Amino acid sequence: MKIGTVNIDFPVLLAPMAGYTDYPFRVLCKRMGAGLVYSEFVSADGIIRENIRTIEMIHFTNEERPIGIQIFGNDPQTMSQAASFVYKKFNPDIIDINYGCPVPKVTKKGGGSAALKDLCLMDEITHAVIDAVPDVPVTVKMRAGWDNNNIVIPDVGNRLENIGVKAITLHPRTTKQRYKGKANWDLIKNLKQNVSIPVIGNGDVYCVENIKAMFEYTGCDAVMIARATLGNPWIFQEAKKLFNNKNYSNSPPLTEIAKTCKEHFKLLIKSRGQSIGMNLMRKHFSNYLKGFPGAAKFRQKLVTATNFEIMKKELTIFEEYASIYTK
């Protein structure tokens, strides 16, 4: 699969997720086989102000390539300037525009999926970004519409393709639905049938079997996974096994969970320092440590560890337990 000039060797992708798809998690997913990873969504306003934390969110390593940087905003000129800055300073493989975030904090300011209420503004923003970075494929991640009375698929797909967008990721829920109800995969199928650029399906993919089912039902070119990767970066590895007709599992051995927890912890400490790294790791422990005997006890001790040495010690104890348990 190609997005513009970018080769994607495996069409199962890591979605951009605020608070989660930072450097350590992207690296882990990449090592597990993700064909393309995305940054957390980054504010165009923060980029052009060169806000330190915002710029930190864009940093990536060559190990993560191909990588997409996702930006959001409500003003064509600001989005254009932000895209240009990202390209010149970081040279990502793809720049993605967020037209999909349904969170009121974002949509009330006209960002994310608020664009679905003003398609002329969406056109202007898309044009501005594409014109600013002619050497980088620009993609879009979007929802199906603002509400059930305003579904914009497949018409918006044709508009975006004509403007020059190189791929569209569709989460087939509306903004008003947020994450409730069922994702309407028929809309992904409909979009795929009406555009010639790659269509990436997203929504209600919780396991390896769901990935295969989305490909088969919608005919999409790639599948993007979000929440199902949390505490489970192995989903990419297992999806590759399924596609190669090999035995796969939705539950890795406990030793693998312990090993990945330890590596994730190391990457966070290295990239963010002990204090911030520890605090960020707590939510990941909550995702990794579940579904096995003793999970609640280990989870509580790791999440409530008061300093680096205690957290490191409890992680070692968990690793030893995993080794014995797996035998």
Residues noted as catalytic: 101
Instruction: Give which of 109, 203, 126 is closest to 167, Cα–Cα.
Output: 126
CA nearest neighbour of 8 among 118, 233, 182, 169 = 169
Can you tell me which residue has the tokens 């014995």?
324
Query: Per the structure block, which two tokens stand in for 64?
Result: 């993560």
Answer for the pair 322, 255: CB distance below 8 angstroms, yes or no: yes
Answer yes or no: are the C-beta atoms of 1 and 210 closer than 8 Å.
no
Residue with tokens 């002619």: 134
> CB count, 10 Å around CB of 270?
11
What is the per-residue DSSP string for 173-221?
Answer: EETTTTT-S---HHHHHHHHHH-SS-EEEESS--SHHHHHHHHHHH--S
> Residue 310, Cα to own-chain centre: how many angstroms?
31
Compute the half-sphere exposure of residue 207: CA atoms within 13 Å on the CB side of its CA.
6
